[in-house]
Structure 1
Amino acid sequence: MSAEESLLAIRYTADVVVTTTDGRVLLIERGWDPHKGQWALPGGHVDPGETSRAAAARELAEEAGVYASPEELVQVGVFDAPDRDPRGRYVTVAYHLTVHSGLPIEAGDDATSAWWWPLEALPPLAFDHAEIIARAVGVAR
């Protein structure tokens, strides 16, 4: 693939907004660029032969140690702004999951830490993840 073709390629990803019954959201600290060291939603690339919902469940388990079946994830929307990712054109399908407060989490894969953040006091977020969280919380209400 040429450099120009690479810039035109569209990459397919999935992200997950996990909220608790007491108003917290699960965020991971990114261990890789882009946005290394920033807080983000668990998520990543959809593998060949995989649905975005299955990828979201897999990434949630890999990055935060939270296990959910794909069927438990509720689609929030598709986010496809051309400039949402500095690596090029990335289209993500976002999902939502509500869990009980106190669910244990453990950072893994490319996440250096995982934390439950109060929805009313979120840190600056990577990519367009603030918009995704706002949509998920609005859909959940």
Structure 2
Amino acid sequence: MSDTHETHATIRYTADVIAATDDGCVLLIKRGWDPYEGHWALPGGHVDEGETGLQAAVRELKEETGVRVAEDELRLVGVWDQPDRDPRGRYVTVTYLATVPADTEAVAGDDARDARWWPLTGLPQPLAFDHADILAAILPPTP
């Protein structure tokens, strides 16, 4: 008889939102907690029990920035699941894109210290987690 015991990682499920304007800006929050306290990041957070990633994305965007979007206004960008992407453990995030008007106001809420629109060509460095890689997924390729 062989040992069939398998070891599985505990995986936490999160949702992030790239809120972008037609004029090339993206909404970031300044993290008010570790890890990456004081760093800029995409709005997002844990998917709650009974919630889909899409529902969590809508909720987190509203809670952290005051920006409201409907589920059908979000487009899936991708899934990021590198084992070392978060120092707290194994996190898998699904990221959505919302295009909003250039005059959309954002106000920091929940656990964000600040919420601000940044030009995609002038993002603060370094961004928290792998958010630079996530944002690169929506940028046009460089020649």
Q: TM-score w.r.t. structure 2 length?
A: 0.90
User: What's the CA shift for 1:107?
Assistant: 0.3
Hey, what does 1:133 align to over in structure 2? 135
Secondary structure of 1:8's partner? coil
Count of aligned pairs: 134
For 2:3, the equivalent position in structure 1 comes to none
Hey, which bits of structure 1, 4+ residues long, moved more than 2 A? Answer: none
Using the alignment, how far apart are the partners of 1:103 and 1:11 within structure 2? 31
- Deviations for 1:68-125, whole angstroms, at most 9, x for unmatched residues? 1112110000000000000000000000011111111100001000000010010120
SS at match of 2:133: helix
Q: For the residues of structure 1 that align with 2:105 and 2:120, how far apart are their CA atoms?
A: 18
CA distance in 2, matches of 1:18, 1:43: 11
Look up the match of 2:9: 8
Alignment correspondent of 2:65: 64
Map 1:40-119 → 2, pairs under 5 A: 40-119=41-120
Q: Bigger radius of gyration, 1 or 2?
A: 2
**Structure 2 residue runs without a partner (length 5+):** 1-6
CA offset at residue 8 of structure 1?
2.9
RMSD of aligned residue pairs (Cα, Å): 1.6
In the alignment, which residue of structure 1 is the partner of 2:29? 28
Secondary structure class of the residue paired with 1:136: coil
User: What is the aligned partner in structure 2 of residue 19 from structure 1?
Assistant: 20
* AA aligned opposite 2:95: A
Q: How far apart, in 2, do the equivalents of 1:109 and 1:33 lie?
A: 15
CA distance in 2: counterparts of 1:47 and 1:137, whole angstroms: 30
**Does the CA contact (< 8 Å) of 1:31 and 1:37 recur in 2?**
yes
Aligned in 2, Cα 1:57/1:137: closer, same or farther, shift over 3 Å? farther
Distance, in Å, in 2 between the alignment partners of 1:108 and 1:43 is 12
